[in-house]
Amino acid sequence: MSSEVKKTFVVTRFDPDRDEEPRTDRYEVPVQPDWKVLDALNYIKDEIDSTLAHRWSCRMAVCGSCGMQVDGKPKLTCKDSLANYGDTVTVEPLANFPVVRDLVVEFEGFMEKFKSVKPWIIRAKERAVEEGTHRQSPAELEAFKQFSMCINCMLCYSACPAVSNEPEFAGPAAIALGHRYNLDSRDEGDSERLAAMRDEGFVYACSYANECSEVCPKNVDPAAAVNQSKLLATMDWMKGLVLPRGGK
């Protein structure tokens, strides 16, 4: 008796230039015990159907490019073990993104949202070279380190109901990135970012469903970042009522 294990993959196929609506194709794949979902997709591409389009790069859960929906949940497919699934596995493109083709989605519009939080160190005055570097203690690093672990896989956007209902919402990853810089002891641009975060489509658009943190493969906890930013943005606004802008 053969010990070969086979699983059936139901994969969404769609070419916006040729198809009126998505369809699904079924593939029977002989899988190995240690395979991830991405291994099966690569097998389909290499051995069964070379027309399948899917995105991947590092295979080490670092680049964030292989995010897809597996059995209805956003997953990083290079990290997601096939042992977690039954005989039939459904693979779809990430929700809340335009589809380029099959399992490949377009991120460009969402990358613009990242720029809106000014994800770089802002200083009121540049430090002179002779003054040396900005030293940072382990405790100061720890304050923002968790929120710097994001790999831009966009799983949180796929899971986020606010993004689904309000496409202009800046989203969990962008806000978490802005929060990372607001907590950085070297940065002096927090009031500037927090003023932007109070605008429509930012922190107050989040209803705290926590879905973003549930699917994050790096435990960034973007839901915490969004809600901490709500508090900081509100406190910054209240401070502005009492003190002149720039007051301490």
Structure confidence at residue 22 as a pLDDT band (50, 70, 90): very high
Q: How far is CA 235 from CA 55, 128, 198, in A?
A: 42, 32, 11
The single-letter DSSP state of residue 5 is: E
Domain 5-105 superfamily per CATH: Beta-grasp domain (3.10.20.30)
pLDDT in tens, 139-184: 999 999 999 999 999 999 999 999 999 988 999 999 999 999 999 9
Structure confidence at residue 1 as a pLDDT band (50, 70, 90): very low
Structure confidence at residue 27 as a pLDDT band (50, 70, 90): very high
Burial class (CB in 10 A: 0-12, 13-18, 19+), 201: middle
Residue 49 pLDDT = 98
Residues of the chain with CATH 1.10.1060.10: 108-242
Q: State yes or no: pLDDT of 2 exceeds 60.
A: no
Residue 120 pLDDT = 95
**DSSP β-bridge partners for residue 92:** 69
pLDDT in tens, 187-223: 999 999 999 999 999 999 998 899 999 999 999 999 9
Average pLDDT, the chain: 93
* Beta carbons of 31 and 40 less than 8 angstroms apart: yes
Residue 3 pLDDT = 59
- Coil, helix or strand at residue 109: helix
Residue 246 pLDDT = 53
Q: State yes or no: pLDDT of 119 exceeds 80.
A: yes
* Beta carbons of 176 and 92 less than 8 angstroms apart: no
- Coil, helix or strand at residue 20: coil
Q: How many percent of the chain have pLDDT more than 90?
A: 84
Residue 244 pLDDT = 64
Structure confidence at residue 127 as a pLDDT band (50, 70, 90): confident
Q: State yes or no: pLDDT of 56 exceeds 50.
A: yes
* Beta carbons of 38 and 66 less than 8 angstroms apart: yes
pLDDT in tens, 87-102: 999 999 999 999 999 9
* Beta carbons of 192 and 118 less than 8 angstroms apart: yes
Residue 128 pLDDT = 84
Residues of the chain with CATH 3.10.20.30: 5-105
Q: Show the DSSP H helices in the chain as ranges.
A: 37-43, 108-115, 138-145, 155-159, 161-165, 172-182, 190-197, 211-215, 222-242
Among the listed residues 143, 139, 221, 227, the one whose alpha carbon sits nearest the alpha carbon of residue 183: 143
Mean local confidence (pLDDT), 94-122: 93
Burial class (CB in 10 A: 0-12, 13-18, 19+), 140: middle
Q: State yes or no: pLDDT of 83 exceeds 90.
A: yes
How many distinct helices (H) and strands (E) make up the chain? Answer: 9, 7
Among the listed residues 167, 225, 216, 224, the one whose alpha carbon sits nearest the alpha carbon of residue 67: 216
Mean local confidence (pLDDT), 21-48: 97
DSSP collapsed to 3 states, 201-219: CCHHHCCCCCHHHHHCCCC
Rounded CA-CA distance 81/34 in Å is 7
Q: Show the DSSP H helices in 50-131 as ranges.
A: 108-115
In CATH, the architecture of 108-242 is Orthogonal Bundle (1.10)
Confidence (pTM): 0.89
